[in-house]
Amino acid sequence: MKKQLLRLPLQFILTCLGLFLFSGAGSLLMYDHELVIHIAKYIHTLQLIGKDLLDPGSIFVQVEADGKEYPIFPMMLKLFGYSFLLLVTSFFIAVVSAAVLSYLAMLLPRRAHRFFLRILELLDSLPDVLVVVFLQLFIIFLFKKTGILFFDIYALGEERIYMLPIFCLAVMPVAFLVKNFLFQLREEGDKPYVEFSFSKGFSKAYTLWVHLFRNVWVSFYYHIKPIFLLMLSNLLIIEILFNINGFMVAMLSTAVSKPSAFFIGMLMVYIPFFLLFSLGQLLLTKYTGIHEEAEA
């Protein structure tokens, strides 16, 4: 526990330093008849970023196609709140859906379970963009047949849409999450306490839900970071396909045009989730005695 408390500040500082160095990477590579590394321009860009950080009020970002520029605050905070409401809501929907599907899959007969795994592999192989486009076309098809637009499929101007982007963002990682749950459930299923539960006369459904899932949730937490990164990249796809002027689109546009704004945006993503993951990790270590290294 003490080792973790000492390691976390160092990890935080090194990551922030890495993000700072990465924020200027757009000026590191240049193409002039051939690809060259431009060290001098890269260092100059880092110096400009440092200068802008001393006066954040001087940083302006262009987040819309009208060409207007806005102060980074509160514009980025506004975009952050909207985009991460979509992300967090869809994340909880995806996790709950994956947990329920995994539980039901474990109760299926062997032949049905194998068929379910094949379907899962097929869904997992589909490109994320294809899934979103298919859902949009399905909504258009329903509108043509019924005359009812069940969900908005495109954002116009300052308009904000929620239902379909959240649904798409939740659907996209479900196959990956279910595979993750099933793998960990099979790992837990070979442990002695499962046989002991069966010997006590408890049913498979009870043992699975009460005992296996309790331990799987602990293991699942330590694999949540790559899942979060997966959904973060999917958020960019969602914002582009739904024409949403969101945080990830703003980050994409500032990556080269305004490196200082890009660095601040990365910190806005990293800091709250670093604190959340670190707190959860410390609590799990304290109450379960399981360390992340043991789960890796």
88 CB neighbour count, 10 Å cutoff: 12
If one counts every other C-beta atom within 10 angstroms of the C-beta of residue 174, the result is 19
What domain range is 81 assigned to? 76-257
- Cβ–Cβ under 8 Å, residues 22 and 255: no
Stated pTM of the model: 0.83
Digit-coded pLDDT (tens) for 37-81: 888 888 999 999 999 999 888 888 887 656 678 888 888 888 999
- The verdict on residue 215 lying in a domain is yes
Angle at which helix 72-106 crosses helix 224-241, to 10 degrees, equals 120
CATH number of residue 193's parent domain: 1.10.3720
**pLDDT, tens digit (0-9, with 9 covering 90-100), for 173-214:** 888 888 888 888 888 777 777 777 777 777 878 788 777 777
Does any domain span residue 233? yes
Domain assignment present for 20: no
Q: d(Cα 272, Cα 265) in Å, to the nearest integer?
A: 12
CA atoms within 13 A on the CB side of 145: 7
Q: Is 285 inside a domain boundary?
A: no
Q: Is 264 exposed, middle or buried (0-12, 13-18, 19+ CB in 10 A)?
A: buried
List residues bridging with 29 in a β-sheet: 37
Distance CA 233, CA 36 (A): 28
Instruction: Tell me the longest C-alpha to C-alpha distance in the chain.
Output: 74
**Residue 21 covered by a domain:** no
- Total number of domains constituting the chain: 1
Q: Which helix (H) or strand (E) covers residue 132, if one does?
A: helix 128-146
What is the arithmetic mean of pLDDT over 80-97? 91
**Element spanning 30, H or E:** strand 29-31
d(CA 215, CA 42): 47
Please, which pLDDT band fits residue 83 given cuts at 50, 70 and 90? very high
